[in-house]
Amino acid sequence: MRDVTVLGIASEIFPLIKTGGLADVAGALPVALADEGVRVTTLVPGYPSVLAGLAGVESLRHFTELFGGPARILRGRAGGLDLLAIDAPHLYARPGSPYIGPDGRDWPDNAQRFAALGAVAASLAVGEGNGVAPDIVHAHDWQAGLALAYLHHHARRPGTVFTAHNLAFQGNYPPSLMAELGLPASDFAIDGVEFYGNLSFLKAGLFYADRITTVSPTYAAEIRTPQGGMGFDGLLRTRAALLSGILNGIDETVWNPATDPHIAARFSTARPGRRSINKEALQSRLGLATTPGALLFGVISRITWQKGLDLLLANLPGLLGLGAQLALLGSGEPGLEDAIAEAAAAHPGQVAAVIGYDEALAHQIQAGVDALLIPSRFEPCGLTQLCGLRYGALPVVARVGGLADTVIDANEAALAAGTGSGVQFAPVTQEMLAVAIQRTASLWREPATWRRLQRNAMRTDVSWRRPAARYVALYRALITERAH
Ligand code: ADP
Ligand code: GLC
């Protein structure tokens, strides 16, 4: 079979720029697909860290005018990835977050910035400029959504796949921007980009894509319901035959406890006991009491409503009452950040919170904590629980989205059968989280059971192998369908 070529479109990509799991997926999926005969080149905005990280750069194309200024399309490589970057200083030469300015608000020209991403993608996808059209365009999340609206107007275009990583982020803007963004007025319709009176980038992706994927089977079902659809459930029910849920994997070279350069002691399924060295190192680094017997919970998370950390704060007295400790790393909503920092200050030695973004500390938490708390109200896939499984940090998770699909609850039946890899709870309430924390503490009091669960967790397949095979099948089916 001949190779498949894919133009990926993403607003963040590990290791160059990352705010969350989208970057991890955009950075790891192309590598996994390369083993399957799929060659992905990913188009990304040329933020400062992207331009600085590109090697072997050549200029591919020039736009005299791209939403308010000139732009060059650069081709280069980084971290084993083939990349195209849009060098457009008027849009992207801003340090820090790709989406938010120093005042904590979205950049006022985000519509133009990500319309530019879509417009360049559409132009490259039909072979303009470099002359080579890919077989498939694969757009990720709302920032890439407009590419599919622009492509829709081309008679000859590649097959398109849109992956929804999180329907909470929609890219909704006033309809008055239609003309400026180069969209015909007729596209502002229910059969188009209109979404409750706004122009929605996410709607463009979900409506125009030949295939829609999302990042877990359970989330694929949840988003077809009014409770989980965030306004898109009707559209997704209509398009259900084209929608599938494909779980994410994790990059097993970045997340490998046997080789991890960030942690005090490397370990593996054969030598899980060495985790205790990492636990003590983490406790010391964070100023927690170095008590080996204390059940140490960890959190690595964006601090937003989605992640349910307010429910965790409400459960802190109960957690500490069990003699447990908490190590938290995260950043996000200022109000909740402050509440977390205050809780840590009130319980020195028992609760530690690092507010910020710290890649190395994320690895140290995975390697050192006994259990990882993830009380998300919704979670399309979730990657931290996959890392937790691999590192033997038992995930304690809300039974939603990808968390439901990847963690096996250590209930009586599972324990009897020798399975189980974590703890699940539902519904996502303060009370049920309390029960989950108590259940985890009971399991902790039985070291043999705990060790077995830890072994099960570490043996779970969290690689990209199976997901990559599913994307390949999807791409090939779409190519065959469009050839007829
Ligand atoms: P989401 O994409 O919704 O934020 P995921 O679980 O899919 O959630 O992915 C989060 C990714 O970001 C993981 O790789 C996690 O380790 C990382 N991460 C989240 N917060 C931080 C932080 N404060 N510092 C370092 N890494 C973080
Ligand atoms: C989103 C979701 C998260 C998912 C990630 C990668 O940020 O919130 O659940 O793991 O995308 O698909």
Find the ligand nearest to 387 CA: 1
**What sign results for the dihedral spanned by CA atoms 287, 360, 447, 319?**
positive
Find the ligand nearest to 329 CA: 1
Q: Which residue is closest in CA terms to ligand 2's atom 11?
A: 165
Whether the per-residue pLDDT at 432 is higher than 90: the answer is yes
- Distance (Å, whole) CA 299 – CA 109: 33
Q: Does residue 17 have its Cβ closer than 6 Å to ligand 2?
A: no
Q: Does residue 384 have its Cβ closer than 6 Å to ligand 2?
A: no
Q: Does residue 397 have its Cβ closer than 6 Å to ligand 1?
A: no
Whether the per-residue pLDDT at 10 is higher than 80: the answer is yes
Tell me the domain boundaries of the chain: 4-249+465-483, 272-459
207: confidence class by pLDDT, cuts 50, 70, 90: very high
Angle between helical axes of 141-152 and 201-208 (0-180°, round to 10): 60
66: confidence class by pLDDT, cuts 50, 70, 90: very high
For position 130, what pLDDT does the model report? 63
Residue 186, CA atoms < 13 Å, CB-side half-sphere: 3
Find the ligand nearest to 18 CA: 1
**Residue-wise pLDDT tens digits, 270-280:** 888 899 999 99
Distance 79 CA to ligand 2 centre (A): 21
- Distance (Å, whole) CA 125 – CA 348: 55
**Residue-wise pLDDT tens digits, 119-162:** 999 999 999 876 679 999 999 999 999 999 999 989 899 999 99
140, 9 in Cβ contact below 8 A? yes
Distance 21 CA to ligand 2 centre (A): 5
Whether the per-residue pLDDT at 78 is higher than 70: the answer is yes
Domain 272-459: state its class. alpha beta
Q: Write the single-letter amino acid at 129.
A: G
Instruction: Tell me what the mean pLDDT of segment 254-259 comes to.
Output: 97
2: confidence class by pLDDT, cuts 50, 70, 90: confident
Q: Does residue 28 have its Cβ closer than 6 Å to ligand 2?
A: no
Distance 301 CA to ligand 1 centre (A): 5
Instruction: Tell me what the mean pLDDT of segment 365-380 comes to.
Output: 98
**What sign results for the dihedral spanned by CA atoms 252, 254, 257, 258?**
positive
Domain 4-249+465-483: state its class. alpha beta
**Residue-wise pLDDT tens digits, 468-479:** 999 999 999 999
Q: Which residue is closest in CA terms to ligand 2's atom 1?
A: 165
Q: Does residue 377 have its Cβ closer than 6 Å to ligand 1?
A: no
Instruction: Tell me what the mean pLDDT of segment 115-122 comes to.
Output: 98
282, 263 in Cβ contact below 8 A? no
Q: Does residue 467 have its Cβ closer than 6 Å to ligand 2?
A: no
Distance 83 CA to ligand 2 centre (A): 22
How much of the chain, in percent, has pLDDT values that exceed 90?
95
For 331-365, b where at least 16 C-beta lie within 10 A, e where not — what string?
Answer: bbbeebbeebeebbeebeebbbbbbeebeebbbbb
Q: Does residue 375 have its Cβ closer than 6 Å to ligand 2?
A: no
How many Å is the Cα radius of gyration of the chain? 23
484: confidence class by pLDDT, cuts 50, 70, 90: confident
How much of the chain, in percent, has pLDDT values that exceed 70?
100
463, 252 in Cβ contact below 8 A? yes
**Closest by CA position to 42, among listed 217, 222, 163:** 163
Q: Write the single-letter amino acid at 77.
A: R
Q: Does residue 19 have its Cβ closer than 6 Å to ligand 2?
A: no
For position 249, what pLDDT does the model report? 98
Residue of 18, 143, 165 best suited for mutating to test ligand 2, as the one with most atoms within 8 Å of CB:
165
**Residue-wise pLDDT tens digits, 284-340:** 999 999 998 999 999 999 999 999 999 999 999 999 999 999 999 999 999 999 999
Whether the per-residue pLDDT at 168 is higher than 90: the answer is yes
Instruction: Tell me what the mean pLDDT of segment 393-403 comes to.
Output: 98
Average pLDDT along the chain? 97
Q: Does residue 359 have its Cβ closer than 6 Å to ligand 1?
A: yes
Q: 4-249+465-483 and 272-459 share one CATH topology? A: yes
Instruction: Tell me what the mean pLDDT of segment 187-201 comes to.
Output: 98
Whether the per-residue pLDDT at 210 is higher than 90: the answer is yes
**Closest by CA position to 326, among listed 389, 263, 283:** 283
Whether the per-residue pLDDT at 1 is higher than 80: the answer is no
**Residue-wise pLDDT tens digits, 211-239:** 999 999 999 999 999 999 999 999 999 99
DSSP string, 357-393: --HHHHHHHHHH-SEEEE--S--SS-SHHHHHHHHT-
- Distance (Å, whole) CA 122 – CA 115: 10
For residue 380, the ligand 2 atom closest to its alpha carbon is: 9
Q: Does residue 329 have its Cβ closer than 6 Å to ligand 1?
A: yes
Instruction: Tell me what the mean pLDDT of segment 427-446 comes to.
Output: 98
Q: Alpha-carbon dihedral of residues 359, 46, 253, 6, nearest 10 degrees?
A: 150
Q: Alpha-carbon dihedral of residues 216, 217, 219, 225, nearest 10 degrees?
A: 160
Q: Which residue is closest in CA terms to ligand 1's atom 26?
A: 359
Instruction: Tell me what the mean pLDDT of segment 371-399 comes to.
Output: 98
For residue 215, the ligand 2 atom closest to its alpha carbon is: 12
Angle, CA 178 vertex, CA 172 and CA 181 arms, to 5°:
95
For position 209, what pLDDT does the model report? 98
- Distance (Å, whole) CA 192 – CA 208: 8
- Distance (Å, whole) CA 380 – CA 99: 20
For position 296, what pLDDT does the model report? 98
In sequence order, what E strands does 64-218 have?
Answer: 71-78, 81-87, 136-140, 159-164, 172-173, 194-195, 198-200, 211-214
Beta bridge partners of 194: 199
